[in-house]
Structure 1
Amino acid sequence: MKASAFLYPWDVVGDPDAPARLAGLGVQQVTLASAYHSTRALTPRHPGRRIVTAEHAAVLYPPDATRWAGRELRPYAQSWVPGEDPYAEAAEALAVAGLEVHSWVVLAHNSRLGAEHPDTSVVNAYGDRYPWAPCIAQPAVHTYLVDLAAEAAVRPGTAGTELESCGWYGFAHLHAHDKTSGVALGDAAQYLMSLCFCAACRDGYGGTGLDADELGAAVRRALEPVWAGAGSRETGWSGVEKLLGGRLAAATWRWRGRVARTLQESAVAAVRRAAPNPDFQVLLHADPASYRTGANAGVHASDILSTADGVVLPCTGGEQAREAVLGPFAGLSGVLAANFNVVSGMGGSPATLERDAAHAASLGANELRLYHAGLASGPDLSAVAGALSAIRGG
């Protein structure tokens, strides 16, 4: 199985040993961030630093001034990695070490965009804005994300791309000092908390026969017992229907599903138009539960592989979790990349990678993704190298 490790440019820039160290793991590819959200990242092996603070979502290359001239929504430049084009510098060094480079593009996750342009954000049924979550139903946001995908994906020296957050983002943020776990929310309640009520979405609901005010009131009524009690453990689409009712739930997804599919199709098409050759690979970080929001955006398994070349699926966890994400793709052709967290300090299990990868392969996975080579400890990377060596030997 072809294996790729996720990496940030700052893991390579200024560390001449990083490319050889990555190649020594036994991976054939690096998935290198070209557009990324805010984060604070450890660099345990870098000779010149230990912490990188990416203060806001940014591109890690110089954005095209002509493309973005006069536009209100445009990508932000980074200032925390030295050099004019850290992505290109890192990509070139990795290529010299014999590694294929694919770009890693984060789209609908941008707190600075929401802070500076609050009207672009998702608004929940209570009127609260989620500044980290641009509403993909808004035409200006859609256009911005599609153009960003085309530019950030097709960087010089890049053979393919992986688009993250190419769909709805919502309640779960994951990259802030969240204090939201006092009341337990299953993914059904999170779906209700992720429904958007901005002007574009209110109009969109109207097109499905829903009154947005009536829908918002129904969402609040459905969630009232959740706040008054011990939360909600409801999961799956059946859980959404139980909380909101089948008719309303279906109507929300008629709107949201159409918006998500339009963005995914448009972003992939834009990348293909900008790509230097027809072999440029386009993958989406995805979840086959189409209503789910977040980094692994919900998709319809039978549809997405007619749009993209494949998907990257979250496979960390037990066998049931892998079966849930890989099962809907059974019998479909395309890249099915099983993504494993190999940072033990972040809940990953590099020690079981060989076994877990074998299970994923039995379910149809044909590639591996390893998150994250720059963040992992030395022992974690040693375990990864041993697992990849065993997989190659097998």
Structure 2
Amino acid sequence: MRAGAFVYPWDVVGDRAAPGRLAGLGLASVTLASAYHSTRAVTPRHPAHRIVTAEHAAVLYPPDPARWSGRALRPYAAGEWAPGDAYGEAARALADAGLEVHTWVVLAHNSRLGAERPDTSVVNAYGDRYPWAPCIARPDVRAYLVDLAAEAAVRPGAAGTELESCGWYGLAHLHAHDKTAGVPLGDRERYLMSLCFCSACRQGYEAGGVDPDTLAAAVRGALEPVWAGTEAAGGLGALEAPVLAWRAGTARALQEAAVGAVRAAAPAGFRVLLHADPEPHRCGADVGTDPAHVLALADGVVTPAASVGPFGAWARPGTVLAANVGVVAGMGGSPGTLAEDAERAAADGATELRLYHAGLASDADLASVADGLRALGQG
């Protein structure tokens, strides 16, 4: 299986040894961030810094003024963490080392947008806004994300792209000073807390035959035992199916538009993958999808290694099923079991590996990655 790894431009720019180090691991490709959310990241080997603070969601290249002129929603330029064309500089250095470069584009995850334009955000059943989560049912948000996908994906020299958060975002978020774990929330509870009740979603529910006020009350009622600490969340009864159907259709429409825009802007042979989960109700970086639909639309998916199986039934010749494997021990990854994890994923149908994350990994983690790739015949 071909192996690729995620990388940030700031892992490479200013570190002449980085491209060769990555190529020496046995990687065939890198997925390099071109549009990314706010983060604080360690850079364990960089000669000039150890901590990079990306203060807000930004594009890591100069956005095209002609595309965005006069538009209310437009991408933010990066600050000192990725000045100028940091993406382009890193991409050229990586390509010169023999690595195939793919863009990494984060879409519906933007805390600065939500802070400056609260009307764009997901609103839960209690009326709380999630500023990190742009609502994809809003026409202005959808138009912005589709154009961002096309511009950030198709960068000079890129062989393909991976679109992250191309669907619903919700409650889950690695937030600063987070204090939300006092009441444990499982998958069901997080889904209910992620249902949106902004004006666009309320209209969407109504169009699907669901009264939004009745739905909001049902969500709050289903969650009441959770806040009391007595039992898990209940169901939504007859409302369950039409709500999920409307949300899944909204996500599919965004995915179709985004992939279509990328293909229209890209040269022949440009590969388009979506970060995806096989459960349609899921929100977040790996968005919920219908495997049959997404694999008919895109060239493949990037999905957690444990989730490869449900996509395998819908794979066609040439379909990419990239198993995302954590290789940063400090973030819960297991670099020492990379070969075994890859073999299990291959048995489920995986055709490639995606390693998270070469820039964040320690020297010891990278040594284990190199050993694992050699065991797989990649090094």
- TM-score of the superposition, structure 2-length normalised? 0.97
Indicate the residue corresponding to 1:239 in structure 2.
none
**Residue 178 (structure 1) shift:** 1.9
Using a 3 Å threshold, how does the CA distance of structure 1 residues 140 and 388 change in structure 2: closer, same or farther? Answer: same
Indicate the residue corresponding to 1:197 in structure 2.
197
Q: Which 4+ residue blocks in structure 1 deviate beyond 6 angstroms? A: none
Cα distance in structure 1, aligned partners of 2:97 and 2:370: 17
Indicate the residue corresponding to 1:327 in structure 2.
310
Q: In the TM superposition, what are the counterparts of 1:239-278 in structure 2 within 5 Å?
A: 242-245=234-237, 247-275=238-266, 277-278=267-268
Q: Could you tell me which amino acid in structure 1 is paired with residue 258 of structure 2?
A: A
Indicate the residue corresponding to 2:288 in structure 1.
298
Q: Do the aligned partners of 1:188 and 1:243 also contact (CA within 8 Å) in 2?
A: no
Q: In the TM superposition, what are the counterparts of 1:118-137 in structure 2 within 5 Å?
A: 118-137=118-137
**Residue 231 (structure 1) shift:** 5.8
Q: Do the aligned partners of 1:184 and 1:231 also contact (CA within 8 Å) in 2?
A: no
Number of aligned positions between the proteins:
377
Question: Which secondary structure state, in structure 2, belongs to the residue aligned with residue 185 of structure 1?
Answer: coil
Cα distance in structure 2, aligned partners of 1:307 and 1:331: 12
Question: Which secondary structure state, in structure 2, belongs to the residue aligned with residue 166 of structure 1?
Answer: coil
Indicate the residue corresponding to 1:102 in structure 2.
102
Indicate the residue corresponding to 1:238 in structure 2.
none
Q: Does 1:37 align with 2:37?
A: yes
Q: Do the aligned partners of 2:170 and 2:284 also contact (CA within 8 Å) in 1?
A: yes
Q: Does 1:285 align with 2:270?
A: no
Cα distance in structure 2, aligned partners of 1:76 and 1:28: 31
**Residue 328 (structure 1) shift:** 4.1
Unpaired runs of 5+ residues, structure 1, are 235-241, 316-321
Unpaired runs of 5+ residues, structure 2, are none
Q: Does 1:385 align with 2:349?
A: no
- What do the CA deviations read for 1:24-50 (whole angstroms, capped 9, x no partner)? 000010000000000000000000000
Q: Do the aligned partners of 2:308 and 2:348 also contact (CA within 8 Å) in 1?
A: no
Q: In the TM superposition, what are the counterparts of 1:368-379 in structure 2 within 5 Å?
A: 368-379=353-364
Q: Could you tell me which amino acid in structure 2 is paired with residue 258 of structure 1?
A: G
Indicate the residue corresponding to 1:50 in structure 2.
50
Q: Could you tell me which amino acid in structure 2 is paired with residue 24 of structure 1?
A: G
Indicate the residue corresponding to 2:209 in structure 1.
209
Per mean C-alpha deviation after superposition, the further-off stretch among 186-195 and 173-182 is: 173-182
Cα distance in structure 1, aligned partners of 2:322 and 2:30: 13
Using a 3 Å threshold, how does the CA distance of structure 1 residues 230 and 378 change in structure 2: closer, same or farther? Answer: farther
Indicate the residue corresponding to 1:18 in structure 2.
18
**Residue 184 (structure 1) shift:** 1.0
- What do the CA deviations read for 1:320-355 (whole angstroms, capped 9, x no partner)? xx2x44234335221000000100000000001100
**Residue 177 (structure 1) shift:** 2.8
Q: Could you tell me which amino acid in structure 2 is paired with residue 249 of structure 1?
A: E
Indicate the residue corresponding to 2:324 in structure 1.
339
Indicate the residue corresponding to 1:2 in structure 2.
2
Q: Could you tell me which amino acid in structure 2 is paired with residue 25 of structure 1?
A: L
Residue 366 (structure 1) aligned to one of 330, 345, 351: 351
**Residue 174 (structure 1) shift:** 2.1
Cα distance in structure 1, aligned partners of 2:7 and 2:357: 6
Q: Do the aligned partners of 1:11 and 1:18 also contact (CA within 8 Å) in 2?
A: yes
Cα distance in structure 2, aligned partners of 1:273 and 1:393: 33
**Residue 230 (structure 1) shift:** 5.0
Using a 3 Å threshold, how does the CA distance of structure 1 residues 231 and 370 change in structure 2: closer, same or farther? Answer: farther
Q: In the TM superposition, what are the counterparts of 1:220-239 in structure 2 within 5 Å?
A: 220-229=220-229, 232=232
Using a 3 Å threshold, how does the CA distance of structure 1 residues 361 and 147 change in structure 2: closer, same or farther? Answer: same
Question: Which secondary structure state, in structure 2, belongs to the residue aligned with residue 6 of structure 1?
Answer: strand
Q: Do the aligned partners of 2:9 and 2:82 also contact (CA within 8 Å) in 1?
A: no
Cα distance in structure 2, aligned partners of 1:337 and 1:82: 28
Q: Could you tell me which amino acid in structure 2 is paired with residue 76 of structure 1?
A: Y
Cα distance in structure 2, aligned partners of 1:152 and 1:113: 17
Q: Do the aligned partners of 1:58 and 1:75 also contact (CA within 8 Å) in 2?
A: yes
Question: Which secondary structure state, in structure 2, belongs to the residue aligned with residue 313 of structure 1?
Answer: strand
Q: Do the aligned partners of 1:61 and 1:85 also contact (CA within 8 Å) in 2?
A: yes
